[in-house]
Chain A
Amino acid sequence: MKALVCVKRVIDYNVRIRVKSDKSGVEKDNVKMSMNPFDEIAVEEAVRLKEKGTLTEIVVLSIGTESSQETIRTGLAMGGDRGILVKSSDEDIDPLNVGKIIKNICDKENPDLIILGKQAIDDDCNQTGQILATLLKYPQATFASKVEKNNDNTLNVTREVDGGLETIKVKIPCVITTDLRLNEPRYASLPNIMKAKQKKIDILDINELSLDLKKRVEILEVNDPPERKPGIVVPDIDSLVDKLKNEAKIL
């Protein structure tokens, strides 16, 4: 079985986000970039499935500028076998169009599993997996916290839903989106990082795919969130409880 794992290069989760003064977006120059944390979990899950013998090949796909190759290399160092970069100078591609691009790659690669993070921590859309499953007419198992292969070409996937855990059984091929509890991604070892440098990354230009990728959603402006008004330091528990009772009117 073959898996396609989709990874996105995003601003590292530890970086303080700065909105550009012209409101066109957030500052990305000289900012540390990393693999989207949920996609790391997706790579890890694929590697574990390969270690268990369920998968035979892991293809790591990213869409973005030349720099997204680094993100693919990270996936290859964790245990991916080869990479595909769909090169695009535009980094803000609507999720629907991202879905169409991934579908195009799936049509060529025919993966049995497509695993991706439930959302990217930049645009926070939480859509791509669902869009892709719909385009491919494959079943979807979103927000996965546990994936188990059955003997009859199905997977049991436990999903983190509001208020509990839901388990569904999906036929392969299928799309899985990962949630936090699925696993803890490994750190790539130095030898594996070195080995990953030898692994192959195919580079395609987004325009070669001949897809209609017109923009559907315009970002008019990006603003700082409303600031919280400055708070106060209280001297003791009594005054804290008093503030909560009388000012916040919560207790």
Chain B
Amino acid sequence: MKTLVIVEHNNDSIKQTTYSTVTAASKISEDVYALILGHNLDTAVDELKKCDHLKKIYLVDKEILSKPIAENFCDEIVKFLKDKDFTHVFTPSSTFGKNLSPKIATELDVQQISDIINIIDDNTFERPIYAGNAIAKVKSNDSIKVVTVRSTCFEPCKLDSQVEVENMSSELSKNELVNFVNYDESKSDRPELTSAKIIISGGRGLQNGENFKLLEGIADKLGAAMGASRAAVDAGFVPNDWQVGQTGKIVAPDLYIAVGISGAIQHIAGIKDSKFIVCINKDEEAPIFKFSDFGLVADLFEALPVLEKKLQ
């Protein structure tokens, strides 16, 4: 058993998702290797070298790999795998991994296992289906297991090692069918919904977009990301990309605060992996109470200013 972890990074630093994926890989066997592709990777590799569990880091530094274009990454990874004996290829189940990993699996003619949350043995995994409303235990019969890992389900590995790095040469030529144009990083001072430790979301109960300001002060104090229910998005209160739920973002923060959200099935599906759920709603019959660790029956317009003050 020998696992390769495909490293997610931004050329300057390693993404947390990589560290969780290393932990997941270490549950298959202690033979864990990492492959990092990119350009000008010195500082990123310095970080990666500290990863516990890794036997070795393979490094491909090439200009055409400076942007994570899936076609180029896939070509390089498939070439790399050719004369090696890896039994497992693990990639974080982020947009980077979701875009890339199925291509690797297809080139190897194997069926990828997506978004695993638990490892039973070297060919059996658990993964959420129906947005986490059911958990499937699946067994792969393929010779190489290509897997994406839900990083929120595995602790990041420790960073106290000193791992050997092998520089790999590359004859990769650029795929001419696709070109990178630009990357527009979200300018928000708030954390991303999918990686935030605390999220505060509003629903139809907020009545209009203006009232989302009531959540802002609390979000600022908690360093929280802001989200919304589908009802609030459909009503035009806030932009689409705020939507948390089965058809929006699936989140798993330490604390999720649902304000004026009734708790429709499709919203619950997107938040049920949160460590703690708090709701504030004036309708004590609202389904959200059944899923909340702590619920407060209150008029949100009275409760929110008080809560903000208490968080001083």
Contact = CB atoms under 8 A, between A and B. Distances in A.
A231 B128 contact: no
A126 B122 CA distance: 22
Nearest to A11: B130
Nearest to A16: B265
Contacts of B142: 216-217
Contacts of B240: 180-181
A19 interface: yes
Contacts of A240: 278, 294, 296, 307
A130 B177 contact: no
Contacts of B103: 130-131, 133-134, 140
Contact of A26 (B124, B134, B183): B134
Contacts of B306: 237
B96 A161 contact: yes
Interface residues of B, number: 90
A133 B178 CA distance: 12
Contacts of B295: 231-234
Interface of B: 69-71, 74, 94-96, 98-103, 105-107, 109-115, 124, 127-142, 175-186, 192, 194-195, 198, 222, 239-241, 243, 246-248, 254-255, 264-266, 272, 275-278, 284, 289-298, 303, 306-307, 310-311
8 contacts: A134-B102, A143-B99, A161-B95, A162-B95, A171-B176, A225-B133, A240-B307, A248-B254
Interface of A: 11, 13-17, 19, 26, 37-38, 94-96, 99, 121-127, 130-131, 133-135, 138-143, 156, 159-171, 174, 180-181, 215-225, 228-234, 236-238, 240-241, 243-244, 248, 250-251
Given A95-B102, A166-B182, A231-B291, 14 more contacts: A17-B133, A26-B130, A124-B115, A126-B98, A134-B107, A140-B103, A156-B181, A162-B192, A181-B241, A216-B111, A228-B272, A237-B298, A244-B278, A248-B294
